[in-house]
Amino acid sequence: MLAEKKLDQLYALISESSHADLVWMSGYLAGLAAQNIPSSAKPITTPPVAIDTISIVYGTETGNSKKAATMATTTFKRAGMKTRLIAAENYKPDMLDKESFFLLVISTQGEGEPPATAKPLYDYLHKREQPFQQLQYAVLALGSKSYPLFCQAGIDVNAQLKRLKATPAIAMGTCEDDFETDAEVWIQQLLQHIQNPLVSTPVATVVKKPAEGKKVFKGTLGSNILLNDRGSNKRVHHLEFDLAEEIVYTPGNAVGIIPENNPAQVARILQLLDISPEQPVAFKEQTLSIEEAFGKKITISHLPVSTVKKYAQWMGIEIPETRIDLYDLLRIYPLQDNNQIQGLIEILPGITPRLYTICSSPATHPCQIHLTAQVHHFSINGDRVRGLGSDYLTSLKPGTELEMFLHSQKSFQLPPDEKDVIMIAQGTGIAPFRSFLAERDINGATGKNWLFFGEENRVTDFYYQSEIQKFVEIGTLQQVHPAFEVHTSNPATVSQIVKQQAAGIWKWIQKGAYVFISGEKEPTGKDVESALLQLIEEQQGITTLEATAYLKQLQKEGRFAKELY
Amino acid sequence: MKPSPVEKIKKESNGLRGTIKEGLSNDLTGAISDADMQVIKFHGMYLQDDRDRREERAEKKLERLYSFMVRLRLPGGVLSANQWIASHHIAGEFSTGVIKITTRQTIQLHGLLKSDIKPTLQAFNAANLDSIATCGDINRNVAAASHPFQSKLHEEIHGYAQKISERLMPKTRAWYDIWLDEEQLLDKKEEEDPLYQDRYLPRKFKIGIAIPPNNDVDVFTNDIGLIAIEEDGKLAGFNIAIGGGLSQTHGNPETYPRLATVIGFVQAGEPTFKAVYEVLTIQRDYGNRSDRKLARLKYTVDTYGIDWWKAELEKRIGFSLEPERPYSFTARRDYYGWQQGQNGLWYYTVFVENGRVTDDEKSSVKAGLYAIAQTGKTQFRFTSNQNVIIADVQEKDKDAIHSLLKEFGIAAQTEHASAIHLNSMACVAFNTCPLALAEAQRYLPSLLDKMDILLKKYNLDKEQIIIRMTGCPNGCARSVAAEIGFIGTAYGMYNVHIGGDREGYRLNTKYQESQDESQILATFDKLFERFAAEKMDTESFGDFVHRVKIV
């Protein structure tokens, strides 16, 4: 163990370091260690006390964390280790003092929250004051880069464990939606570390580049239509991209798109810095012009609080905790000179890809990808601002060529043609169902289809209304239940309509129907799921617990799937 | 002959209920089913859509912007001040905000979404107003001479309009059932309808009552026209005319406009009601139910002949029609500004261009009428020329009302409008009427401005020429019963009709086909030039072109 003073210095260093810094340091130190130069450097991990059993705890919402935890379990078992796989809701936090090795696999929901099932554990770690005596741990965080608070629940838990003097075996791993590859790599690293802690590999975590399955391709924007009519409070666009080549995808898949910053905003920053747009800078082992870096690679608007904090520390100044645009940050707290620009770039977060569910059908719309994108607004310091990704995408002009990559969401897929399907959508959640319906229509699928769709205004916000009417007319869609709040004689939310239709839905489920929910998690996703639970409970005459188990079973069988964001 | 599909819909409508209730709660569409579209007409509504928005909505993958037009039942066109206030608020809350005065003395609102219908009708009901049978194959709003200043009979005649309307109402309680959630009667016998049975009429049916010498209701354009005959200062009875109707179809020579034929005189009171009622039963039994284009009473009259009709009617009413009594119409217009009625009360006729009560840059008619209604010192009477009369004003309140008329620019609008503006009418047409081939109310004012320049050029700007425009040949604004009629054939194109008389005895004749604005103006430049040069003293433009055989 390091002396406390050294340890404090190290923690101080760590707390000031970016993720990239840590990766570099861990590699550097590991390298030093491997060269047997113990006097000048030490690894950040301590030699483990004997590991008896690895407890693998997962907190999951969609089942992905469970899958990753299962992968880890299998890996360690094969390596001859004792493992214990436990769902977070079944894990008693006071067990932590008895663990020799604790592996937590945790996803992030909504605004950086842990899954509901992991909330008690999450809260326990935040409230606990007493340091752990000998706990070794590792955290594998799952998240979606479509959102600013990527893997936040994992980051929080990791920080709390550190604060409580638990010992990280290797740096936290992070996985995107398509988590399998990333998780696999990280688990192997962890295994290696546990088996031989002093020769851990320099690159500890995170596969940043698209995995092999992530096929990158280009699409040319054919049309970009605002679906909402005049008078709507929403701005949802329908975009159609023409592809030069056929891309193999299935209904329910998504594409990832890396948005670019507003050129005017970039120009303002360059002007403020009084620097040539051609000025070369380094970004992630790549040299490019500062204009390109700010335009396409680096986040410059609504910088997260952590970045602002980092900047303040780096500059050695006081800045209040806030989200702020880079332009304003540099205007109010200017750099001392332009030699600091490279340092600045290393502090700033990169632009992350945004995922959009495809709303076209491979069979009906060959060589095309259609997307449904809502201009996302959120509030920063009381100002209403637009999300970068949706703002970028919905502002694109026809003719623009765009790079995207395919992202498969394996649990969200059409069942065989003869199966019945219940589709419950809120807002842009209609996207995968437009794909489903078009696909089932063209394939002459014999299974019945039932669509629930919720939005605000019947007159202005009924996305794909004329197509849905067509599917009803030609007999592809047997039942449609829209739910609107305005311009309807029955104002209701989609979950209320689901409740109204409980008996019918139950009949369909009993006959083997597949149930899909798509849309915003809060509040619709949650409400619809509880409406489903309630109808199972009531229709079947069982307890809430049994209904939950029933729904879980459906989920396991692939008959219940959610795509919530 | 196979009955038209609408006949089946009426029969199977369960007393005009159809599946309207179910349709109202179907949020997949803002429309209703094709069958219910027919049924809902009997409740005073048309399903329409905003034709200006069709392409834009289609691109957005949205269905058409469907909405409903609702028309009130106002026999004789009278509203109390409180009812006007209620209508003002209802229009603002649920419709486009414009209150449209129709050519049949009632008001209608446009742009009601499906979910707005019930609250609208409930609000109207609370103001003792309804929309029963103002559209559909049934007797519609009964029109009656609007202005009391020329005749003592005025009030009595309005009583006839009211009674005829009530006697010819359908017996079904469907309107109350659907729109007011009134409980359905268990005993269907109470809804049995000896007049309409379960088939209603073959086509729409209109009744108007005129008091000579003014033919402001255009009495001969009605299926039944009643002409009040005054003898010794009392109402003796009515000359009864049948078979008027103006609608025709482009390219269908079997269709034609027709003015009603006077078939005799009936005594006031019960004989009049009976005669009117039985004309309806004959039309019910003999009207064409297979071809809706040939189903109006005018075709039944011509198919069976006047003699047969008289005989059949006398058989049904059980008494003989008396010979037609003498009468004379000298005008067919509204008298703008202040007039004193025979009852001593004061009346101000407001010019409302094409009946659109709204506020714009020029004047604040809607705000002004609202302010006037709030005084509680007036009634409102609508005219068959789409205007409104501030009615029944006491001598002592006249000045106060007049200062309001001035304050809101209403007096100026009425006093400064040109003669042809004051005597013109246009139907709704675009953007809501599904039948429109060309613009009407949105276009006519600007065309009239250009025609005014021509009239001034020949010093004819005081001529009270009746000019009417319709966006299709169905004649809602009675374009074939005008001195100059424009009938839309395609967007921006109109057939030009001339030669109708000023009193309403003679229809006009088609003069030119499918003309655009520049052609129209060139035509009238020549016609007005010749009219100015060759007209006799008080000869009207319509009579002139007829006399010199231009048409």
Q: Across the interface, do A462 and B114 touch by the CB < 8 Å criterion? A: no
CB nearest A462 (choices: B56, B59, B62): B62
For the stretch B484-499, pLDDT in tens is 999 999 999 999 999 9
Chain A residue at shortest CA distance from B117: A489
Dist CA A456 CA A231 (whole Å): 12
Categorize the per-residue pLDDT at A444 as very low, low, confident or very high, splitting at 50, 70 and 90: confident
Alpha-carbon distance values, A58 to A109, A126, A156, A502 (Å): 14, 18, 15, 32
Nearest CA in chain B to A457: B27
Q: % helix / strand / coil in chain A, to the nearest 5? A: 40, 25, 35
DSSP assignment of B134-145: SSSSSB-PPEE-
Cβ–Cβ gap A229/B60 under 8 Å:
yes
- The complex's ipTM works out to 0.92
What whole-number distance in Å separates Cα of residue B306 and Cα of residue B312?
A: 10
Selecting from A238, A464, A482 the residue whose C-beta is nearest the C-beta of B27 gives A482
Q: Is the dihedral of CA B100, B103, B104, B105 positive or negative?
A: positive
Say whether B476 is catalytic. Answer: yes
Q: Report the gap between the CA of B179 and the closest CA in chain A (Å).
A: 12
DSSP output for B199-231: T--SS-B-EEEEBTTB-TT-GGGSSEEEEEEEE
In the predicted structure, residue A85 carries a pLDDT above the cut 50? yes
Q: What is the mean pLDDT of residues A16-34?
A: 56
The pLDDT-based confidence of A92 (bands split at 50, 70, 90) is confident
Q: Please name the residue that has the structure tokens 């001339």.
A: B498
User: Is a pLDDT exceeding 90 seen at residue A358?
Assistant: yes
The answer to whether the CB atoms of A469 and B29 lie below 8 A apart is yes
Evaluate if residue A197 carries a pLDDT over 70: no
Give the residue from chain A lying closest to B119, CA to CA. Answer: A489
Helix, strand, coil tally for chain B in percent (to 5)? 35, 20, 40
Average pLDDT estimate for A254-258:
93
Query: Could you report the per-residue pLDDT of B228-265, keeping only the tens digit for each?
Result: 999 999 999 999 999 999 999 998 999 999 999 999 99
Q: What average pLDDT does chain A have?
A: 85
Confidence category of residue A294, pLDDT binned at 50, 70, 90: very high
CA dihedral (A465, A471, A472, A478) positive or negative: negative
Q: How far is B521 from B457, CA to CA, in rounded Å?
A: 13
Residue of B499 and A108 predicted with greater confidence: B499
Least confident of A77-81, A114-118, A417-421, B100-104: A77-81
Asked whether the beta carbons of residue A465 and residue B58 sit closer than 8 angstroms, the reply is no
Q: Do B27 and A463 touch (CB under 8 A)?
A: no
The average pLDDT across A353-368 equals 92
A227 vs B63: CB contact, 8 Å cut-off?
A: no
The reply to whether residue A225 touches residue B60, judged by beta carbons under 8 angstroms, is yes
Give me the catalytic one of B17, B73, B114, B140.
B140
Phi/psi at B199 (nearest 5 deg)? -115, -15
Residue among B324, B138, B329, B333 at smallest CA distance from B241 = B324
Concerning whether B71 is annotated as a catalytic residue, the answer is yes
pLDDT at residue A3 in the model: 60
> What count of residues does chain B have?
551
CB contact under 8 A, B62 and A490: no
Q: Which residues of A touch B (CB under 8 A)?
A: 225-229, 238, 458-460, 462-469, 472, 480, 482-484, 487-490
**With an 8 Å Cβ cutoff, are B113 and A226 in contact?**
no
B25 interfacial to chain A (CB closer than 8 Å): yes
Q: Is B292 on the interface with A (CB under 8 A)?
A: no
Question: Which chain A residue is nearest to residue B113, measuring alpha carbons?
Answer: A487
CB B157 within 8 Å of CB B227:
no
B204 is catalytic: yes
Which phi-psi region, left, alpha or beta, contains residue B549 (left: φ > 0; alpha: ψ -120 to 50)?
left
Report chain B's mean pLDDT, rounded to a whole number. 96
Give the best-scoring range by mean pLDDT among A354-358, A407-411, B359-363, B479-483: B479-483
Residue B329 clears pLDDT 50, i.e. is over it: yes
Residue A388 predicted with pLDDT over 50: yes
Q: Do B113 and A466 touch (CB under 8 A)?
A: no
pLDDT grade, residue B277 (50/70/90)?
very high
Looking at the predicted structure, is the pLDDT value of residue A204 above 70? no
pLDDT band for position A37 (cuts 50, 70, 90): very low
How far apart are the C-alpha atoms of A127 and A122, rounded to whole Å?
A: 9
What is the band of A212 on the pLDDT scale with cuts at 50, 70, 90?
very low
pLDDT tens sequence across B25-56: 999 999 999 999 999 999 999 999 999 999 99
The DSSP secondary-structure symbol of B428 reads -
- Asked if the Cβ–Cβ distance from A458 to B59 is below 8 Å, we say no
- Which of A225, A462, A465 is closest, CB to CB, to B59? A225
How far does the CA of residue B175 sit from the closest CA of chain A (Å)?
18
Does A77 have pLDDT greater than 80?
A: no
Residue A72's pLDDT band (cuts 50, 70, 90) = confident
Q: What is the pLDDT of residues A319-338, one digit of tens each?
A: 998 889 999 999 999 999 99
Question: With an 8 Å Cβ cutoff, is B20 touching chain A?
Answer: no
Distance CA A388, CA A377 (A): 9
Active site residue B433: yes
Helix ranges restricted to H, B54-106: 54-59, 81-94
Provide the pLDDT for residue A146: 60
Contacts of A479 (CB under 8 A, 6+ apart): A448, A449, A450, A451, A504
Residue in B27, B56, B60 nearest the CB of A484: B27
- Confidence at A4, pLDDT banded by 50, 70, 90: low
Distances from the Cα of A346 to the Cα of A298, A342, B62, B165, B285, angstroms: 10, 6, 47, 84, 91
CA-based nearest residue in chain B for residue A484: B27
What pairing do the DSSP bridges indicate for beta strands A377-380 and A383-386? antiparallel
Would you say residue A209 has pLDDT above 70? no
> Which of A228, A459, A480 is the closest to B113 by Cβ?
A459
Amino acid in the structure at residue B29: T
Using an 8 Å CB-CB cutoff, list chain B residues near A238.
61
Q: Is the peptide bond before B431 cis (omega within 30 degrees of 0)?
A: yes
Query: Is B21 near chain A, with CB under 8 Å?
Result: no
**Residue B206 annotated as catalytic:** yes
Where residue A409 falls among pLDDT bands split at 50, 70, 90?
confident
* Nearest Cα residue in chain B from A472: B28
Among B296, B476, B478, B502, which one carries the catalytic annotation? B476
Residue A39, pLDDT > 50, answer no
Q: Report whether A367 contacts A245 (CB < 8 A).
A: yes
Whether pLDDT at A466 is above 70:
yes
Q: Are A462 and B24 in contact (CB < 8 Å)?
A: no
pLDDT at A46: 43
- How many Cβ pairs closer than 8 A exist between chain A and B? 57
Residue B350: the pLDDT is: 98
At residue B195 the predicted structure's pLDDT band, cuts being 50, 70 and 90, is very high
**Could you report the per-residue pLDDT of B6-21, keeping only the tens digit for each?**
999 999 999 999 999 9
Residue of B20, B27, B54, B95 to mutate when probing chain A, most A C-beta within 10 A: B27
Q: How confident is the model at residue A48 (pLDDT cuts 50, 70, 90)?
A: very low
- Percent pLDDT > 70 in chain A is 86
Is the predicted pLDDT of residue A437 greater than 70, yes or no? Answer: yes
